[in-house]
Amino acid sequence: MSDCESFDTALAASPDLNRLARRARAHAGSCRRCAALLRDLELIVERAASLAANASEPDPPPQLWDQIRRQLEKEGVIHANGRTTPRRAKPRPKSGGGPLPRLVHSTPRSGG
């Protein structure tokens, strides 16, 4: 097995780049191909973490809460008038009370 193949194997076996085997990291220090690969993967990991930490989280559609609330009222989980009343356990069918209505979007939304 060539050093590059060994490097690829080490990467696949241990995707924690900070714990990449010393030998594999040493190889990347002397091989342009493997150095570029390691650099790219480190960049992807770093940017993905940054994206998760800093991305603005979109609001769900405004009608989502109304749908949830209506369903919970129907099931007796919450009370329509907003009173605070102890909730009684109520047996529900396994399906969770039948199929839920899908949200109907008033405006087209992208699928991606």
Partner 1 sequence: MTLTNRALATESWNEAEAIDRAKQGDAEAFAFLYHRHKRRVYSLCLRMTGNTAEADDLAQEAFLQLFRKIATFRGESAFSTWLHRLSVNVVLMHLRRKGLPEVSLEETTEPTQEDGPKRDIGSPDLALIGSVDRVNLERAIHRLPPGYRTIFVLHDMEGYEHNEIAEMIRCSIGNSKSQLHKARMKLRDLLQLPHTQGAARS
Count residues near partner 1 (CB under 8 A): 57
Cα gap 84→53, rounded to integer Å = 37
Q: Which of 5, 82, 95, 107 binds partner 1 (CB under 8 A)?
A: 82
Q: Which one, 23 or 69, has the nearer CB to partner 1?
A: 69
**Alpha helices per DSSP H over the chain:** 3-13, 22-28, 32-54, 63-75
Give the contacts of 31 (CB within 8 A, at least 6 positions apart).
3, 4, 7
Q: Which one, 22 or 101, has the nearer CB to partner 1?
A: 101
Least spacing, CB of residue 9 vs partner 1, in Å: 10
Residue 25 within binding range of partner 1, rule CB under 8 A = no
Q: Which one, 23 or 33, has the nearer CB to partner 1?
A: 33
Of 58, 66, 22, whose CA–CA distance to 10 is shortest? 22
Residue 98 within binding range of partner 1, rule CB under 8 A = no
Residue 69 within binding range of partner 1, rule CB under 8 A = yes
Under a CB-based contact definition with an 8 Å cutoff, are residues 24 and 10 in contact?
Answer: yes
